[in-house]
Amino acid sequence: MTRAAQITLVPGDGIGVDVTEATMAVVGAALQRCGLPALETRKIDAGAAYFRETGQDIQLGGEEAAGQADAIFLGAIGLPSVRHADGTEISPHLRLRDRFELYAGVRPVKAYPNAPQRLADARAAGIDLVILRESTEGLFYSAAVHGRSQISDTEVRDTLRISRSVTERLHRFGFRLAERRLARGKGGRVTCVDKANVFASMAFFRRIFDEVKAEFPAIATGYNYVDAQALDLVRQPWDFDILVMENMFGDILSDLAGGLVGGMGMAACGEYGDAHALFQPAHGSAPDIMGQDKANPLAAILSGAMMLDYLSERLGVAGYDDAAQLIEDAVQAGFEANALRPMEFGGDMGTRAVTTEVTARVQGGKP
């Protein structure tokens, strides 16, 4: 009998609590339909609200517990009004990335019918690309662990780090992802996004890309400076498949790309290392609408599907990828039928209504 997957839940702050609950409902329905056992979950308290109450950003032993699970699911972290003395927000999830070496941040960007499309060109309906964000180094290297920045009253220095070990693994991850997408009839092209014309660190990033691409001769490649890539995401996003880039660049461009396909309520995310993975919606905590049944849970739900796909490989159980596909198909069919109308898009469906609709389709109750 297949053992139950063990998941660490970190609902966090604001609407993180709402969308985590929604995701677990949909994931549970998909597992049940596929004849798989329910997830075994362990909730960990972490985030800005917890910090405000306790002075700690994660409960005692929380990081260790997260590392013992098959996967980590995080809702959202941060409250603008709760900050460290240096002015930065509470962000224990950055430390989780650092601790578990979650170097490959996968941000799918997919257009759905009847969801807002910000570009007038008809080709915008076919947007289906992936931003692959290195998630442990780059300009976020200093942010992951307090004390890495050099701070004085007259100057602050943050360190941008690009290492060969992490960058080689990131690029290989990108090319292997391109192979899988190519096998499914998608683009199969990897574009290196950098600022190699100015920074030695970015030239190093591109040089390693060139070394790794030789291992994958069947995959097409391209290059773009990050400023030109921002322009091209508005001008011709349908021309791209996988965009691999440094941490800060990925943080910025993934939000831009999310806006092209409706908003951050559609921004799913999986962060992968060699031995661990964390899944979360890429949006913020939106504390102003917490608990009001207004949040769009689809980014979290689609992140849950990514988690199931990962569990299929981690546990060696094919049924988990079937469950993931059920969720992805339910979201696609729901938009095609105009049955998913989140308030984020000006629609009439709150968190619970969207969750109920997707769950019903996962269960097979709707065509």
**pLDDT tens per residue, range 13-53:** 999 999 999 999 999 999 999 999 999 999 999 999 999 99
pLDDT confidence of residue 142 = 82
248 vs 311: CA distance, rounded Å: 28
pLDDT mean values, one per 10 residues, the chain (367 residues): 90 97 98 96 97 96 95 96 89 93 97 93 95 95 75 89 97 97 93 98 98 97 98 97 97 96 95 98 94 97 98 92 97 97 96 98 78
Longest Cα–Cα distance of the chain, Å, equals 63
Q: Are 36 and 2 in contact (CB under 8 A)?
A: yes
Strands (E), 20-76: 40-43, 71-76
Ordered domains of the chain (ranges, CATH) = 1-103+267-367 (3.40.718.10), 117-260 (3.40.718.10)
What is the number of other CB atoms lying within 10 angstroms of the CB of residue 260? Answer: 21
The per-residue pLDDT for 366 is 55
Residue for token pair 């192979």: 179
- The 10s digit of each residue's pLDDT in 243-265 is 999 999 999 999 999 999 999 99
Length of the chain equals: 367
Q: How far is CA 7 from CA 27, 97, 107, 278, 356, in A?
A: 12, 16, 21, 10, 22
Phi/psi of residue 39, nearest 5 degrees: -65, 145
The Cα–Cα gap between 253 and 245 comes to: 10
